[in-house]
Amino acid sequence: MTAVEEKLAGAQDVAAQGDSRTPSTIPDHKQALAEEIAAMSPEEFEAAEKRLVAKIDRNLVPWMTLLFTMSFLDRINIGTAKLAGLNTDLGLTSLQYNTASMIFFVSYVAAEVPSNLVLKKFRPSRWIPFIMIVWSLFQIFMGLVTNYHQLLAMRFCLGLAESGLFPGISFFLTGWYKRKEASKRISLFFAGAVLAGAFGGILGYALSRMDGVGGKAGWSWIFIIEGLLSFVIGIASIWMVHDWPDQAKFLTPLEKEMALLRLKEDTGVMQEGTFSWKVIRRALKDWKTPTFMLMYIGCAEPIYSQSLFSPTIIAALGRFTTPQSLLLSTPPYVLAFITTMTTAYFSDKTGKRGIFLMFWSSMAAIGYLLFLTIPIKHSGALYFAVFLTTCSIAPCIATTIVWSGNTFGNHYKKATSMGFIFSLGNSGGIISSQVYRGKDSPRFLVGQGVTFGFSCICLLASITMYFGLRRENARRERVYGPAPGPGQTSEWESEEGKKRWGLEGMTRQEIVDLGDDHPAHRFIL
């Protein structure tokens, strides 16, 4: 079969499916679109595909990055507010501050899985702007609190509203790109968190200088101004956030057809799926789900520790004023942005995930060992450890998100598994907010020791996942032979394909429900 014939077969197969207006099924475009794609020469198709991917990038990635930058900034600015006088003005003890930091993650973790399922039910262009507008209001109200209990209530509500953004956008982006294209895009999206860490200290310091304006303290203005920024961006998101490939208004009908064909060529029927409790149970019973959960909490707990407490840790080194501590927390995040994007580039170029996770989690563990062993008098060496841990943990987070999104098949299985991965992972924020205790200053040995342990968990989970997936790929190659190549989408579900993969007698829906358990699927390592 020629390349043109393969495209025609794939395009016709895409066109043959029913239109349910969700990414779970492939829409029924006109046969003329399939014929137009098939009529392209390989060179014309490649050029059109490049233009399509660039158009998708322009319309999705920058705005999603901005949204998550604001989300992460709004959840961690309590650390900056603390140095700007929050604890003093509200009379908070160290335990009360840690509880206020922690309560955000309680509601955040509890609502992540339901939010991912709601995102699947409702359009992203409606759900994402809604939750952002709601959380921006809670952020603004946080600048008006006058006591500990009000602060606690606002942090809880903030976590509840923000819970849908991070897992939702991660899940959403994996529904747009081929598996080997995803790392750069999702890493750039996560780089929003890195940028928030890099410039949150500078912005917080600038806003804290408004102390006394309007009778409000500097820490109040940090919450109010950043909340207003989120509100404006949330309103704009009503027009800037798009839907799934078959619904996106910025694509022409031909581009929608090509976008869906690309996904089908990459993963066969794996991007499809309808809701059923059987699929949910399959997600919960899959060994990969708890392994990715451990991997993610292994790097999420350290990143939250860094973002919430790095200004405090730097201040505790003894040589820096509060403004200097806020400013000195910026350079490590700039380096983290560089390591995150460099890792993403080489990860996509090589098609590898596990080796990068193993390397960077090892580097992070070494960094936390430096915190545990270097005397406090060597502030320069400890500041170097801040650089090493921050620049190592950031690429671990991004790579774990991409690897989990690349691994799971069936739309609802992926949504469920990724929801649970994010839920356990983000509970690392609960842990980090409790283990860095004021009484342990200046070395914070308990916090650094716990975080060292979590970086080791990330390393061990990465090793387990890498060798487990490699073993399964080898088993499938041995039993079934090579996986279908590009353009051979019919092999996933045709009668001939069913016979080859040992799926005789199964309906199409049953094959779709298999997800990544389909024998034709090969895992990215």
Q: Which residues contact 368 (CB under 8 A, 6 or more apart)?
A: 302, 385, 389, 448, 449, 451, 452, 455
What angle separates helix 124-142 from helix 218-240, to the nearest 10 degrees?
A: 170
Is the pLDDT confidence value at 430 over 70?
A: yes
One-letter amino acid at 422 equals F
Is the pLDDT confidence value at 79 over 90?
A: no
Tens of pLDDT, residue by residue over 105-131, are: 888 877 777 777 777 677 888 888 999
- pTM here is 0.74
Is the pLDDT confidence value at 54 over 60?
A: yes
Q: DSSP for 301-344, please give it.
A: HHHHHHHHHHHHHHHHTSS--HHHHHHHTHHHHHHHHHHHHHHH
More confident residue, 73 or 339: 339
Please tell me the distance from the alpha carbon of residue 75 to that of residue 173, in angstroms, as a whole number: 22
* Boundary (domain end) residue, out of 199, 230, 264: 264
Please tell me the distance from the alpha carbon of residue 212 to that of residue 204, in angstroms, as a whole number: 15
Is residue 93 in a domain? Answer: yes
Is the pLDDT confidence value at 73 over 50?
A: yes
- Residue for token digits 């319309």? 59
* Boundary (domain end) residue, out of 233, 264, 295: 264
Establish how many alpha carbons lie within 13 A of residue 56's alpha carbon, considering only the half-sphere containing its beta carbon: 28
Q: Which CATH number does the domain housing residue 254 bear?
A: 1.20.1250.20
What pLDDT does 164 receive? 82
Q: Which residues contact 12 (CB under 8 A, 6 or more apart)?
A: 31, 34, 38
Tens of pLDDT, residue by residue over 257-309, are: 888 777 777 655 555 556 566 777 777 888 999 999 999 999 989 987 876 66
306 and 166 in one domain?
A: no
By C-alpha distance, which of 194, 225, 493, 421 is closest to 329? Answer: 194
400 and 290 in one domain?
A: yes
Tens of pLDDT, residue by residue over 495-525, are: 776 777 777 766 766 677 676 777 877 888 8
One-letter amino acid at 100 equals A
Q: Which residues contact 344 (CB under 8 A, 6 or more apart)?
A: 183, 184, 186, 187, 188, 395, 398, 399, 402
Is residue 12 in a domain? Answer: no
Number of domains in the chain: 2
What pLDDT does 30 receive? 53
What pLDDT does 24 receive? 43
213 and 85 in one domain?
A: yes
188 and 109 in one domain?
A: yes
- Residue for token digits 């509880």? 99
pLDDT bracket for residue 25 (50, 70, 90): very low
What pLDDT does 271 receive? 59
* Boundary (domain end) residue, out of 264, 297, 319: 264
Please tell me the distance from the alpha carbon of residue 180 to that of residue 173, in angstroms, as a whole number: 13
pLDDT bracket for residue 163 (50, 70, 90): confident
178 and 116 in one domain?
A: yes
202 and 111 in one domain?
A: yes
Task: Note down the domain range covering 401.
Answer: 286-476+508-524
One-letter amino acid at 198 equals A
195 and 59 in one domain?
A: yes
Is residue 501 in a domain? Answer: no
467 and 328 in one domain?
A: yes
Calculate ∠ Cα 462-466-469, nearest 5°: 135
**If DSSP states are collapsed to H, E and C, what string results for 65-127?**
HHHHHHHHHHHHHHHHHHHCCHHHHHCCCHHHHHHHHHHHHHHHHHHHHHHHHHHHHCCHHHH
Please tell me the distance from the alpha carbon of residue 420 to that of residue 113, in angstroms, as a whole number: 6
Contact call for residues 425 and 296 (beta carbons, < 8 A): yes
Is residue 233 in a domain? Answer: yes
259 and 110 in one domain?
A: yes
Tens of pLDDT, residue by residue over 150-159, are: 999 999 999 8
329 and 212 in one domain?
A: no
Q: Which of 244-258, 299-313, 445-459 has the lowest mean pLDDT?
A: 299-313
Please tell me the distance from the alpha carbon of residue 107 to that of residue 429, in angstroms, as a whole number: 11
Q: Which of 158-162, 175-179, 431-435, 501-505 has the lowest mean pLDDT?
A: 501-505
Distance between first and last Cα of the chain: 30
Is residue 317 in a domain? Answer: yes
> Phi-psi region for residue 502, left (φ > 0), alpha (ψ -120 to 50) or beta?
left
Contact call for residues 2 and 42 (beta carbons, < 8 A): no
Please tell me the distance from the alpha carbon of residue 137 to that of residue 158, in angstroms, as a whole number: 9
Is the pLDDT confidence value at 239 over 70?
A: yes
Contact call for residues 237 and 132 (beta carbons, < 8 A): yes
The DSSP call for residue 483 is: P
pLDDT bracket for residue 449 (50, 70, 90): very high
- Burial, 20: exposed, middle or buried (Cβ in 10 Å; 0-12, 13-18, 19+)? middle
What pLDDT does 368 receive? 93
Please tell me the distance from the alpha carbon of residue 493 to that of residue 520, in angstroms, as a whole number: 10
87 and 224 in one domain?
A: yes
Is residue 463 in a domain? Answer: yes
Is the pLDDT confidence value at 466 over 90?
A: yes
Mean pLDDT rounded to a whole number for the chain = 80
Please tell me the distance from the alpha carbon of residue 228 to that of residue 392, in angstroms, as a whole number: 32
- Please give the average per-residue pLDDT across 237-242, as a whole number: 90
Please tell me the distance from the alpha carbon of residue 9 to that of residue 201, in angstroms, as a whole number: 54
Tens of pLDDT, residue by residue over 347-363, are: 888 888 999 999 999 99
Q: Which of 38-42, 140-144, 416-420 has the lowest mean pLDDT?
A: 38-42
- Please give the average per-residue pLDDT across 170-191, as a whole number: 76
What pLDDT does 418 receive? 80
One-letter amino acid at 128 equals I
Is residue 169 in a domain? Answer: yes
Tens of pLDDT, residue by residue over 94-104, are: 888 888 888 88
pLDDT bracket for residue 192 (50, 70, 90): low
Q: DSSP for 159-198, please give it.
A: HHHHTTHHHHHHHHHHTTS-GGGHHHHHHHHHHHHHHHHH
Is residue 378 in a domain? Answer: yes
More confident residue, 74 or 392: 392
Q: In a 3-state reduction of DSSP, which class is residue 10?
A: helix
Is the pLDDT confidence value at 341 over 50?
A: yes
What pLDDT does 16 receive? 46
Is the pLDDT confidence value at 491 over 60?
A: no
What pLDDT does 4 receive? 42
217 and 249 in one domain?
A: yes
Establish how many alpha carbons lie within 13 A of residue 133's alpha carbon, considering only the half-sphere containing its beta carbon: 11
What angle separates helix 445-480 from helix 288-316, to the nearest 10 degrees?
A: 150
Is the pLDDT confidence value at 365 over 70?
A: yes
Please tell me the distance from the alpha carbon of residue 337 to that of residue 29, in angstroms, as a whole number: 41
- Please give the average per-residue pLDDT across 181-192, as a whole number: 74
By C-alpha distance, which of 447, 439, 316, 309 is closest to 377? Answer: 316
The percent of residues in the chain predicted with pLDDT above 70, rounded, is 82
Please tell me the distance from the alpha carbon of residue 309 to that of residue 102, in angstroms, as a whole number: 13
